[in-house]
Copies of this chain bind each other. A is one copy, B any other.
Amino acid sequence: MDCIQNQYKFIVHELITVVIKRGRGPLRILHTADWHLGKHLEGWSRYEEQKEFVEEIIEIADDNKVDMVLICGDIFDTTNPPAEAEQLFFQAMDYLSKGGERVICLISGNHDSPNRLMAPGPLASRQGIFIMDEPRGDRYKLDDDRVLNRGQGYIELEINGEGVVLTALPYPSESRLNQVFSWTGDDRAVQESYSRRVGQIFSHLEQYYRENTINIAMSHLFVAGGQTTRSERPIQVGGSLTVLPEHLPEKSQYTALGHLHRYQIASSARRAYYSGSPLQYSLSEKDHKKCVNLVELHPGEEARIEQVELTTKKPIEVWEAEGVEEAIKMVEANKDRSVWAYLYINVDKTLLQSEIKKIKEIKKDILCINPITPEEKYEWETIKMPDEDLDIMELFKEYYRKTKKVEPDDDIIRMFSSIVNDTREKGEHDETAAS
């Protein structure tokens, strides 16, 4: 009798579990990154396009009943963004959060000033917008009711009755790794490679994951093997600031990344994805489809990931013409299309100012008008089909080969690498000091 009763109890319990699970539905996440608010292209503002993609992302979030938005760094293009970009940011946050209903988590990238980005944190966190990791005061009510727990690098939330643990690592510059993450351990550890140290941080943060919670991670970094474009400011020199896939979070069900502007899987084994930027930000991105990632999650289950393509309102194009006459015809034919055009004209002699003026009169927002003489043909080919994996070190080697007619030796390469790194670290310090 007891046995039968227990069996019933078990069945009822199982049924309830299933019903609750079904009832809860999945957690729906929208993953985006690299908004670069305030960015220009050849001196032209992208503000109008940025307003448009913000609108589109809000629409996608609404249509897909998104519960949580992750914005993985490089939200602004500079550490000191124009007021217009800040206005767009705050308006976007307010609309995207539906006035506080939908949770947003964001981190700084290598373009952002972490301090400036985190400044509005106290106000933002009260309506479910969490700038990881802003310094928090300890007065009055902290955050909003959905926050169960919070500390450096992680937040635990309750969304639709489901526990969600998000670990977050804002862009870890060399100097930031040393300053902020001093808890990574002993001197020896600090001496170890960048990638290993990043891995240690992720491992440390994974302690907050639990079996019955949805476990996710977000960061802004360059995963070794990723496909770059020309508009990410390189954070790796000679590979020293790349992170190996094996050092990405191990137990995260979905790791949302920012930095690379092209949508890509950073590591299948580690379930790590780049959403890419929402706009084509440089010539080398001219054929990229842009998207956001929609992710559906249940505790302990595999994530369902869907790419949602964004409409490209004003794509980047390269136009190549044989001679000025053809160029003018080409511009005339395309003058009403909404495109950012780089115009290259094969010529025997240099272009006249009057010819340039005439072309610009036909299409005011043409980006560049470049004459190409037969001798420049080779260079032009490299521009047209940029080697997207070329990093600053490769460019240096190529330059060295061309000018010195020999390969640079190891000493030279090491010296160059250390100069570049020093300059960058100094730049970061200057920004910190200036802030």
Q: Are A129 and B123 in contact (CB-based, < 8 A)?
A: yes
Of the candidates B95, B113, B119, B435, the one whose C-beta lies within 8 Å of that of A139 is: B95
Q: What CA separation (Å) do A95 and B139 show in the bound complex?
A: 7
> Could you say which of B80, B91, B115, B121 contacts A122, with CB atoms under 8 Å apart?
B91
- For the complex formed, measure the closest distance between the CB of A306 and the CB atoms of chain B, giving whole angstroms: 25
Q: Which of A82-90, A210-218, A283-291, A408-416 contacts B (4 or more CB under 8 A)?
A: A82-90
With A137-B91, A140-B98, A141-B99: A120-B118 Cβ-Cβ less than 8 Å: no
Q: Tell me the bound Cα distance from A101 to B139 in angstroms.
A: 13
What chain B residues lie within 8 Å of A83 (beta carbons)? 113, 115-116, 119, 435
Given contacts A95-B139, A99-B141, A139-B95, contact A121 B82 (CB under 8 A): no
Is B115 a contact of A94 with CB atoms below 8 Å? Answer: no
Chain B residues whose CB sits within 8 angstroms of the CB of A123 once the complex forms: 90, 93-94, 120, 123-124, 127, 129
Query: What's the dominant secondary structure at chain A's contact region?
Result: helix
Task: Map CB proximity to B onto A73-85 as digits: 1 under 8 Å, 0 otherwise.
Answer: 0000000101110
Say yes or no: A99-B140 contact (C-beta < 8 A), given A83-B113, A87-B118.
yes
* Cβ contact within 8 Å between B95 and A137: yes
Q: Taking CB as reference atom, which chain B residue is nearest A95?
A: B139
- Complex Cα gap A435–B87 (Å): 10
Which of A86, A121, A123, A139: most chain B Cβ within 10 A? A123
Taking CB atoms, residues of chain B closer than 8 Å to A180 are none
- Complex CA gap A122/B120 in Å reads 12
Chain B nearest CB: distance from A426 CB in Å?
18
**Among the listed B82, B98, B435, which residue makes an inter-chain contact with A435, where contact means beta carbons less than 8 Å apart?**
B82
Could you tell me which residues of chain A, from 107 to 153, have a CB within 8 Å of some CB in chain B? Answer: 113, 115-116, 118-124, 126-127, 129, 135, 137, 139-141
Quick one: given A94-B122, A121-B90, A129-B123, are A435 and B84 in contact (CB under 8 Å)? Answer: yes
What are 13 A-B residue pairs whose CB atoms fall within 8 Å in the complex?
A: A83-B113, A84-B115, A86-B119, A90-B120, A90-B123, A94-B140, A98-B140, A99-B126, A99-B140, A101-B140, A120-B120, A123-B127, A127-B127
Q: Enumerate chain A interface residues (CB-CB to B < 8 A).
A: 80, 82-84, 86-87, 89-91, 93-95, 98-101, 113, 115-116, 118-124, 126-127, 129, 135, 137, 139-141, 434-435
